[in-house]
């Protein structure tokens, strides 16, 4: 990692620690996940609701066992730079599935926050999602951008939803890269030309709508013979589910893809996925994509 990016990640992790020390209020940090940080285990006192009674001490002056923090509470949360879109959902779902403590740092892409030097130091492509893990490899902070790379990182870190042996990860990687290079970009373009382009260009709408249709068909065929994309539930499914959630916007009728529909409903019903989809960023609901200021930020970007 280049020095500047490394330093920024470390600074960011440290500054968030200072911020948390200044205020234990979840709201003061922006949106906070429904994960372990915001809903601490009932058996342990939460940071924001300290026990009123004086903590009992052992002979050595340490808090008694029952009052020590759980291992999860001792871990500094991962910072998730996030906006509620299919790419953002991938990471909130994975963090929820892995029960990793995390804090959401909203990046309002409609206001251009993705271009701030602090964010670019973590995500040089001016795109969210990105994460800073204060407990990276070797116990040192690390930042990761690109949703596929983040999913693989978290899968390797936790040993969950990304198998470790030589054979099984091949299928996971195939479907993950299929999403990153195919479903995501094609669905993004379909969405753009159908809903955001200043003029309705029939050729572009048809091309990208057809391509999403083809890709949904590929998934449907795969899922006819497999419960999940790579056999067992994995980061490949996590990468795809948000795009299928928006099927209608891309001109697709899920009922025409029965195996895909079965898969989507099974994933949507998972408690972690429900928690991730329930994260609300108020500012995001207020964005007006017709607002010329928003359009100037998001569309027509060139090299800077
Ligand atoms: N390949 C990237 C794509 C991320 C992406 O396109 N993010 C969009 C929102 S879904 C974004 O941050 N857009 C900001 C902009 O267009 O300036 C990834 O998978 O992480």
pLDDT in tens, 199-234: 999 999 999 999 999 999 999 999 999 999 999 999
* Residues 32-60 pLDDT 10s: 444 434 333 333 223 232 233 333 444 44
> Rounded to whole angstroms, how far apart are CA atoms 172 and 233?
9
Count the neighbouring beta carbons within 10 Å of the beta carbon of residue 224. 12
Report residue 74's pLDDT band, with 50, 70 and 90 as the boundaries: low
Separation of CA 54 and ligand 1 centre (Å): 49
Q: Within a 10 A sphere around the Cβ of 95, how many other Cβ atoms?
A: 27
**Nearest CA residue ID for atom 13, ligand 1:** 127
The predicted model gives 98-110 an average pLDDT of: 98
Residues 6+ away with beta carbon under 8 Å from 196: 289, 295, 299
Contact of 96 with 154, CB cutoff 8 Å = no
> For ligand 1, which residues put their CB under 6 angstroms from it?
85, 87, 109, 114, 126-129, 146-147, 298
Report how far ligand 1's centroid is from the alpha carbon of 140 (Å).
26
**Confidence band (pLDDT; 50, 70, 90) for 73?**
low
Instruction: Enter the pTM of the model.
Output: 0.81
* Pairing of β 130-133 and β 78-82: antiparallel
What does the pLDDT look like over 147-196, one tens digit per residue? 999 999 999 999 999 999 989 999 999 999 999 999 999 999 999 999 99
Average pLDDT, integer, range 244-267: 98
Selection from 4, 239, 12, 175 nearest residue 105 by Cα:
12
């Amino acid at each position: 990692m280049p020095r500047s990016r490394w330093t920024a990640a470390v600074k960011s992790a440290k500054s968030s620690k200072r911020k948390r020390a200044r205020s234990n209020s979840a709201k003061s940090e922006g949106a906070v996940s429904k994960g372990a940080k915001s809903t601490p285990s009932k058996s342990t006192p939460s940071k924001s609701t300290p026990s009123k009674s004086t903590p009992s001490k052992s002979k050595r002056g340490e808090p008694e066992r029952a009052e020590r923090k759980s291992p999860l509470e001792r871990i500094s949360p991962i910072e998730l730079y996030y906006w509620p879109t299919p790419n953002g959902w991938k990471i909130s779902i994975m963090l929820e599935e892995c029960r990793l403590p995390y804090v959401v740092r909203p990046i309002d892409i409609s206001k251009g926050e993705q271009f701030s030097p602090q964010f670019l130091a973590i995500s040089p492509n001016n795109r969210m999602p990105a994460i800073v893990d204060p407990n990276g490899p070797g116990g040192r902070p690390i930042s990761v951008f690109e949703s596929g790379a983040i999913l693989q990182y978290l899968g390797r870190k936790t040993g969950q939803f990304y198998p470790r042996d030589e054979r099984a990860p091949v299928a996971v990687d195939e479907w993950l890269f299929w999403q990153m290079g195919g479903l995501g970009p094609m669905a993004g373009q379909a969405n753009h030309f159908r809903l955001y382009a200043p003029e309705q260009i029939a050729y572009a709408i048809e091309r990208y709508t057809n391509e999403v249709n083809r890709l949904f068909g590929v998934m449907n065929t795969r899922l006819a013979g497999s419960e999940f994309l790579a056999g067992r539930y994995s980061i490949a499914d996590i990468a795809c589910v948000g795009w299928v959630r928006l099927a209608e916007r891309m001109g697709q009728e899920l009922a025409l893809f029965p195996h895909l529909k079965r898969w989507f409903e099974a994933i949507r019903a998972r408690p972690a996925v429900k928690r991730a989809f329930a994260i609300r960023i108020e500012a995001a609901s207020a964005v007006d994509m017709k607002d010329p200021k928003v359009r100037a930020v998001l569309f027509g970007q060139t090299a800077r």
